[in-house]
Amino acid sequence: RALNHLIGKGIAAADDDDSTLFRSSICDIYPDAPAHRRQFSSTNGVSSGIKRIDQTTLPTMSQAVVHNGVVHVSGQIDAAGEDVESQTRNILSKIDSLLQQAGTSKSKLLTASIWLKDIERDFATMNDIWLEWVDGDNKPARAT
């Protein structure tokens, strides 16, 4: 029922175009979904108002997705940095780039979740860099 409620909110949008690359039917799982919401389609990374950003870095996912004016950024990691400082800076730079490609900026962040391997050792350094980076007048909700 919860997913059906989300479908009604537009997660799966209607599209009756037969030229799409793939088509999936929601009515098999949610037969009570309204008829105009029972199918969704995707062509070249754009699906009924969905914009997918950087689908080539990893073959299993997009690095960011824009839907209904909201940008969803995938979790970012950095294997090049030698310490938490360089890794944090590299990751925040990636996020800046993805937000720019999506047509927005860090001043409009809603939430951020930060995962640290050793929170006791690395939190202070990461947090100092975060405070330099984040828009001080528009801080998002954050979990660390």
Q: Does residue 28 have a pLDDT over 90?
A: no
For 60-92, what is each residue's pLDDT tens digit?
A: 999 999 999 899 999 999 999 999 999 999 999
Asked if 109 contacts 140 with a C-beta cutoff of 8 angstroms, the reply is yes
In 3-state terms, what secondary structure has residue 113?
strand
Alpha-carbon dihedral of residues 39, 45, 50, 55, nearest 10 degrees? 130
- Contact present, 57 and 63 (Cβ < 8 Å): yes
Tokens found for residue 21: 């690359």
Q: What is the mean pLDDT of the chain?
A: 74
- 65 DSSP assignment: E
The distance of Cα 120 from the centroid of its chain, to the nearest Å, equals 28
- Torsions phi, psi for 141 (to 5 deg): -65, 140
Q: Tokens representing 47? A: 């699906």
Q: What is the mean pLDDT of residues 35-61?
A: 67
